[in-house]
Amino acid sequence: MFQCIGYAAQDAASPLAPFSFERRDTGPHDVHIEILYCGVCHSDLHQSRNDWSNSLYPMVPGHEIVGRVVGVGAQVTKLKAGDYAGVGCLVDSCRECAACTADLEQYCLNMPTPTYNGRERNGEALTFGGYSDQIVVDQRFVVKIPDTLDLKGAAPLLCAGITTYSPLKHWKVGLGQKVGVIGLGGLGHMGVKFAKALGAHVTMITTSPEKGRDALHLGADEVLVSRDADAMAKAAGSFDFLLNTIPVGHDMNPYLGLLKLDGAMAIVGALTPLDPVLGAHLIMGRKSIAGSAIGGLAETQEMIDFCAEHGILADIEMIAIADINAAYERMLKNDVKYRFVIDMASLKVAAAAA
Ligand SMILES: [Zn+2]
Ligand SMILES: [Zn+2]
């Protein structure tokens, strides 16, 4: 074991504060990463405050991790010291079930191991995430970040990026299709960029005309204000696919009317109960509502490589780790375009001052 420093929540009510803890030594299949940047996902905020009633403390949040490889185990082939690497929402899985063997570790039938707020597969040690100076992860759960990708804007790709890329690929979004991205936040802004890069005609569907204007700057072709009944009626039956990034339960019925025959809407943000759906809205037009969670490790690497090829990055605001509690308050007010990223160089300063 070796000593690390980070920022942790000690309980649901306390702000995050400096924290010392141990990680395992680099095993034969492990990659030891010096963390340079970590994106701030909404789940960091909710889990640190036990909003989902499943929090384990102390908790070091963070699952949008990029850094530099400083050491690798003897069996590691895909990375070497000096490479840039990324770690997302998972650090392990059973590796044997039907999902794992199909490169869908996120759906591991024996539950994948989350990067934080979980336990290692021995069921004992807590996992600690990316608000820290270093991490040790099995090479299967590490992706390689090409030197050409800006690391700061790449960090949010590890959660927000793959969460939106994977459903667009699964539902075969491409040239000639009309895609609606519902909601403009960390997820929605990546959804617009990916759908556009995949060749689709992209419409931002939002309650806010101001967010609509922002989406045009991100590459959306059109805006549909969902509170405008006339505009919604005009757009009825025109979309092949809807990427629904609304983060809370809501009424999906109005969106189903936007889909074409055989159209599908994928839910990627709402973990809480959704309002009842009128069966007729699905039956008439053979429409589907589905869900999608992040992506497997092979697809995460594919997404990173796609971003390098197409010059896709998250739009970010850099913060120091000492500002994390203030950043959480701003996220509650939707006051971020579109992702906070922590500069981990600030951790040493904060730890020294503590
Ligand atoms: Zn996340
Ligand atoms: Zn599995």
Reported as a pLDDT band with limits 50, 70 and 90, residue 352 is confident
- Indicate if the pLDDT at residue 287 is higher than 90: yes
pLDDT tens track for 123-146: 889 999 999 999 999 999 999 999
Q: Residue 102 C-alpha to ligand 2 middle, in angstroms?
A: 9
- Give yes or no for a contact between 251 and 275, defined as CB atoms under 8 angstroms apart: yes
Query: Could you tell me the two tokens for 84?
Result: 């840039």
**Nearest one of 206, 247, 199 to 227, comparing CA atoms:** 206
Question: Most distant CA pair in the chain: distance in Å?
Answer: 63
Q: Residue 113 C-alpha to ligand 2 middle, in angstroms?
A: 10
| Mean pLDDT across the chain | 97
- pLDDT score for 291: 98
- Indicate if the pLDDT at residue 351 is higher than 90: no
Q: Residue 112 C-alpha to ligand 2 middle, in angstroms?
A: 7
Residues flanking ion ligand 1, Cβ below 5 Å: 41, 43, 159
Omega before 7 within 30 of 0, i.e. cis: no
pLDDT tens track for 13-49: 999 999 999 999 999 999 999 999 999 999 999 999 9
Q: Which helix (H) or strand (E) holds 210?
A: helix 209-218
Mean pLDDT over 227-253 rounds to 97
Mean pLDDT over 265-274 rounds to 94
- pLDDT score for 348: 85
Residues flanking ion ligand 2, Cβ below 5 Å: 93-94, 97, 100, 108, 110
Which ligand approaches the C-alpha of residue 112 most closely? 2
- Indicate if the pLDDT at residue 227 is higher than 90: yes
Q: Which amino acid is at 20?
A: S
Mean pLDDT over 262-283 rounds to 96
The SS3 call for residue 211 is: helix
Q: Is the pTM of this model over 0.85?
A: yes
Q: Residue 290 C-alpha to ligand 2 middle, in angstroms?
A: 21
Name the residue with higher pLDDT: 123 or 354: 123
Cα separation, 50 vs 57, whole angstroms:
10
Q: Residue 106 C-alpha to ligand 1 middle, in angstroms?
A: 13
- pLDDT score for 350: 81
